[in-house]
A and B are shown apart, each in its own frame.
Chain A
Amino acid sequence: KNQVEQSPQSLIILEGKNCTLQCNYTVSPFSNLRWYKQDTGRGPVSLTIMTFSENTKSNGRYTATLDADTKQSSLHITASQLSDSASYICVVSGGSTLGRLYFGRGTQLTVWP
């Protein structure tokens, strides 16, 4: 069964600290993996996309990694800011239906001052 699991479900950190969010998937065949950020009361916005051949990609203070062998991805946030408080959603494209998307349930990150 094609699934996307995210951990932890929620996370609280202090401003300035680093954190890492995890995404494990069983989707096969795999096409790509995208991380979205969803601020409270807003729609999700894409942060970064990882394709099969990519191991690491950075977008400012956000760094995503992908291990296609173990089917794991992580999103590392460096020097967290209050504005990083949001839900982070992992979405995997793949499976037997072209373009099918599989959503994780998200990790709710809260950054405290």
Chain B
Amino acid sequence: DADVTQTPRNRITKTGKRIMLECSQTKGHDRMYWYRQDPGLGLRLIYYSFDVKDINKGEISDGYSVSRQAQAKFSLSLESAIPNQTALYFCATSDPDRDATGELFFGEGSRLTVL
């Protein structure tokens, strides 16, 4: 089983719909992240959380919200999806207490298409 699991893996939706992407991890890491990947643009940080009570905006948080339900769960929501939110979304974790270099452990990705 994957250490970082994302659901759904693929989703097609329509403009204006509310979408939630879920992430769960079994690595026991405190830090969790949501990234967006677009062709030719690389990975961009949407939101990150250092623990259950800590939520921070990344570089492209507009139009997104998150919820850290537990140490192991971090959800990303699009309240009203729009076509330019079509992208591949990745959840990642890290544990700087065990690895000061900041290695990220990624999920398999959630491909979202907004029509």
Residues of A within 8 A of B (CB): 9, 31-32, 34, 36, 41-46, 49, 51, 89, 91, 93, 99, 101, 103-106
Contacts and interface: CB of A to CB of B under 8 A. Distances in A.
Contacts of B102: 31-32, 93, 99, 101
Contact of A105 (B41, B90, B101, B103): B41
B42 A43 contact: no
A42 B108 contact: yes
Contacts of A89: 42-43
Interface residues on B, range: 10 to 19
Contacts of A103: 42-44
A34 B101 contact: yes
A43 to B, nearest CB: 3
A43 B107 contact: yes
Nearest to B107: A43
- Please classify the interface of chain A as helix (H, G, I), strand (E, B), loop, or mixed, using the class held by over half of its residues: strand
| Max count, chain A CB within 10 A of own CB: residue among B44, B90, B104, B107 | B104
Given A9-B40, A43-B92, 19 more contacts: A32-B102, A34-B101, A36-B104, A41-B109, A42-B108, A43-B90, A43-B107, A43-B108, A43-B109, A44-B43, A44-B104, A49-B101, A89-B42, A89-B43, A93-B101, A99-B102, A101-B104, A103-B42, A106-B42
Contacts of A51: 101
Contacts of A91: 104
B47 interface: no
A93 B102 CA distance: 8
B24 to A, nearest CB: 14
13 contacts: A32-B101, A34-B103, A43-B106, A43-B107, A43-B108, A44-B106, A45-B106, A89-B42, A89-B43, A93-B101, A93-B102, A103-B43, A104-B42
B96 interface: yes
Interface string B42-74: 111100000000000000000000000000000
Please give me the 10 A-B residue pairs with the lowest Cβ-Cβ distance, nearest first.
A43-B106, A105-B42, A103-B43, A103-B42, A46-B103, A44-B106, A49-B101, A32-B101, A93-B102, A43-B107
